[in-house]
Structure 1
């Protein structure tokens, strides 16, 4: 393994070369993670360690190839190999199980799907041309492609639901909801976040607003919130249902500024007097420290047309739509809650 190199540390050219070569191999870890997720190997480790041969028989895979995948993932703490050659699932890797609480398996499959993976290999096109690589590879813009490819759309929406499951509770806790009224979750997917909000606030009614094929997979039909929710199909660039609070969770980062302003304008029009918009997104911090938003920003650049934004950039979006960013509430997740009101 090549040595760690501090950005401002003077190093021998050979050390720099070794560092960069090692960094260039970093894509093999998510490739291995995807392979493990696809064959469901983690599901077969819930009851304890097993040998590669046992796991291969359970997953109908090649034992030698599976071992090599597990060996690499063990270097990152997902699995651990013992002295007898058996592998166990670590606590850090436990969410790779499909039946784990807050399972990340669907999210891993989404993030490493070819619809996401292939455009990132063509980032140089994005840098040179200032546009997404997705349409060049797939013949259609991202959302148009998903509209005509049900299998890929299902991977995306199930993956987004899985990403949301671990963050819904802390984000709902951070949000300031009124004791009564209507909360509209615009582009709310399968409704995991709205479900959490309604469970926490029994005086609220919720509207899940999304495309018809997305709403078909909603998760709101539970006894605890019976009679307090409805679904409504539509295009949020055309109109948004009226509400006291309108939530945009992981939405604005999907779009360019002009489209965000148009969407926020629709939301402002739909707000009840004294209402608020809660935009839930990552806020890119200044400086050189790692942050998930800095990585996800490149995925957005490659596959969609959007980008992650700083707090001043969000403030400018709201101002352009006749709104004021009243406060930013950090959460224990990578996302923050940006509260906006009509000017």
Structure 2
């Protein structure tokens, strides 16, 4: 009769305990090798292999010639990517980019190439290696690795900052249409995208809501790469405002905060949310667009992202109760949480009575 792996060891036979330990060791060793796959994905993104496969199947040698890489080592990377369905190898040693792998190309809508490069950048990779530091010291590992906080490092390293902002835009492009559709917005008024980056979300919001005007708020060097200019559908309905959201936020009827609060600790978030409360016009609403961590053992991207935040920044992913507490401290009230069909939710808040 099969034994129950959740049965206490004292109630199982020595043979069953030993077999369970063997399975545990095999599982943990296999999981410990898991970091190699993102490294292979990063290598493929860096060298443009997916673009070289856009025209059809090719051997590793043909791809190596097209990308300036070593054929034997490229084959080894592709072989691992094939185990997760990014590419497929036929019986003649030719590789094809699968439907799953299409977004690794740089020339397709919703390209994930920049997002892959950002998420596997050394600014996240190296602190993750030092995660034990977070447990023993109770602080981010980023400062110990790079000698300064995350955003200070970006301020002095333009190349890394560009990887981050372009990668965030690519990551957001996939989710923005669904998020914009899920937001309950008025027919008229002003929507302010606070810390809105290159404006991908605001663009989707204005496209879906022709009676709204929009303000894209961020630092000057970020706004320099915004994407609102030249979009005929939203012409004349947007403006940009340079600024630091820890100092002030432009006034509006609806304020959006997308993937912002998870970057910062609770006290910093309360400061930011306080600025948002003061910027809301009468009857206005704040929409915090972030993951809400479920209270169960099921896999969820927010649980993975939470550890990346822990290692590199001071923030964290939050539960519904966490958001309610933050908003309350800032003089706001959580009114409802709306699903979006993505890993993010719409955490809607109003000024507290």
Q: TM-score, length-normalised on structure 1?
A: 0.97
Q: How does 1:248-263 map to 2 (within 5 A)?
A: 248-263=257-272
Q: Compare CA radii of gyration and give the structure with the larger one.
A: 2
Say yes or no: does 1:162 pair with 2:170.
yes
Tell me the equivalent position of 1:214: 222
Of 327, 335, 343 in structure 2, the residue corresponding to residue 326 of structure 1 is 335
Question: 1:16 and 1:168 mapped to 2: Cα distance?
Answer: 40
1:12 Cα deviation after fit: 2.5
| 2:320 corresponds to 1:314 | no
1:231: which partner in 2?
240
Alpha carbons of structure 1 residues 8 and 71: separation in structure 2 relative to 1, 3 Å = farther
Q: What residue number does 1:107 align with? A: 115
1:121 alignment counterpart: 129
User: Cα distance, 1:100 vs. partner?
Assistant: 1.6
**Partner Cα distance (2:138, 2:150) in 1:** 16
Separation of aligned partners in 2, 1:8 and 1:197? 49
CA RMSD of aligned residues (A): 1.1
Give 3-state SS (helix, strand or coil) of 1:333's partner.
Answer: coil
Q: For 1:242-300, what per-residue CA distance to the aligned partner results, in whole angstroms no more than 9, with x for missing partners?
A: 00000000000000010101100000000000000000000000111000000000000
Match of 1:16 in 2: 24
Q: Give the TM-score normalised by structure 2.
A: 0.94
Count of residues paired in the alignment: 338
- Aligned residue for 2:256, secondary structure, equals strand
Structure 1, gaps ≥5 residues long = 1-5
Instruction: Give the counterpart of 2:66 among 53, 58, 63.
Output: 58
2:314 is paired with a residue whose SS is coil
| 1:46 pairs with 2:54 | yes
Q: Does 1:81 align with 2:89?
A: yes
Tell me by how many angstroms 1:8 deviates: 4.0
In structure 2, the gaps of 5 or more residues are 8-16
Q: Aligned match of 2:294 in 285, 299, 304?
A: 285
Secondary structure of the corresponding residue to residue 295 of structure 2: coil
Give the distance between the partners of 1:38 and 1:117, measured in 2 at CA. Answer: 15
> What displacement does 1:7 show?
7.9
- 1:90 matched to which residue of 2? 98
| Counterpart Cα distance in 2 of 1:281 and 1:152 | 24
Q: Does 1:204 align with 2:208?
A: no
SS at match of 1:73: helix
